[in-house]
Structure 1
């Protein structure tokens, strides 16, 4: 499924599949066994019963857009037996502790690499590779820095499926670094005047 939402103006959504086929509302109307298209004032969606694997393009054309511009949001989702899930061994750590990051890749790919990009509360990033520990599981240890606040872990798995197609899957996790594990909460403070 590909979906697009626009706040104001008129939106035309066109897709280009991995074989270069241009998919627009007219194509969908003539090929209902391949794709269905629906749209209303602000939302347009294309649904496929069996989408072609590979790189897709989503093209947006706006008209009647206000002088100040507008916001568009796009979304794509596909069913697959190849999934990536992840977790850390704790939700909260103290500086100097070791966090264990675990990822599980289901669907039996023929080859895969899993990496974690770690973004700390100061905005610094660090990338680490997770090692395969068998059964579709991957693991790495991360030395927790002395940077208090929330940390995002972005897991990415890339590789080849059993049928030879390339794949990429992603998952995001968060954990807290606290000086004393006392369940402190760090929230952004927004001042409105």
Structure 2
């Protein structure tokens, strides 16, 4: 069943400027990993900004469960319905891994019986143990930081994960490990995972590839 849909979406930065995206219609279902590929300048990151509600289409609609997201509270949309994973991780370096996840939980406004326990369970899901969870971010490797970023994105239990070049700064072996996490989240936990990527290996691992 389609959970997120682009319906003839176009986007330009100014009214009379060239369209970065034109008449894009994609459908995304739960339980699958999607790779969005294309050469630089084709609008991949712009598309992710539209899906995350950080920008609005010039034309067309983006639908969440059939509802136009333009009519939704975008703060609530980003803190409840979707989780976003950035290429640069965007973790707070002065905090530990677990503190980064807990902070995200606080921001979401959701209620948890035991935040620390829930945060630790999320970190363990992405193979971050108790010792690593109590280290500050800069004391972790790039692969470990990406895992923390995934755990943080999962903290609001979103139906959709959006990832911007999540393996761009990682070695090939770590890239495989991170992709395995995404595949398990989709196939075992019925999450919809949407990845913007330049990597052929990532695209080949995905269930569906959309090319811009």
TM-score with structure 2 setting the length: 0.23
Bigger radius of gyration: 1
TM-score with structure 1 setting the length: 0.25
By percentage of residues, which structure has more strand? 1
